[in-house]
Amino acid sequence: MIAYKGFQPGLICRGYQFVMGLNTTAEANCGANGFHCAEDPLDCLSYYGDMECSEYYLVQPGGDIDEDERDSKIACTELTIIKKLEREEFFIHALAYMVVRGADPVASGKKGDILAFAKEAPAGDKIVQIALVRVDGRKIKPNTWYDINLKERKVA
């Protein structure tokens, strides 16, 4: 199972210093203890919402696992920290989890936003192309609609 975890800079969560690789603890209960992570990357933003002051990692939960009823939060007794995700990687993982897609996806945003696209094959639900771009105000303009090939589109 792959999951995601938010941290304060330096792999710190609620005062606990994690290390890259395997971390272990005695008990796992979503409401009380254990190492917490989430199957949906965007659920990390509920706990570490300030992307300028937080870090996000790809993790693998193991050992005893307890799942939350509210969201995709998991508590576990073993948490292997695999890789730090840069902002674009974080959103690619979120896009893949959410399965935001269509036959002809278009998106628009304000300066600084990240636009994510997932194009479906015409004859099924398989994703055949993805794209991710930041609205920079130069190449990708604010409040302008773009398709997955980053070409401007008119949207009625």
Q: Which residues contact 76 (CB under 8 A, 6 or more apart)?
A: 28, 34, 35, 37, 61, 62, 63, 64, 65, 66
Whether residue 93 is predicted with pLDDT greater than 90 in this model: the reply is: no
Which amino acid would we find at residue 63?
G
Closest CA to 101 of 81, 118, 78, 83: 118
CA distance 67 to 70: 9
Q: How far apart are CA 142 and CA 133, in angstroms?
A: 12
Structure tokens at 24: 């272990």
pLDDT, mean over the chain: 90
Residue 8 is predicted with a pLDDT of 97
CB atoms within 10 A of CB 36: 22
Strands annotated E in the chain: 3-7, 12-13, 16-17, 21-24, 35-38, 55-67, 73-85, 106-107, 114-120, 127-134, 146-147
Global pTM value: 0.67
16-45 average pLDDT score: 91
Q: What is the pLDDT of residues 109-119, one digit of tens each?
A: 888 878 888 88
In the chain, the percentage of residues whose pLDDT exceeds 70 is 98
Asked if pLDDT for residue 100 goes beyond 80, the answer is no
Nearest to 81 by CA among 109, 61, 101, 103: 61
Q: Quick one: tokens of 31? A: 């409401």
Tokens of 97: 């989890």
Element (H, E) at 8: none
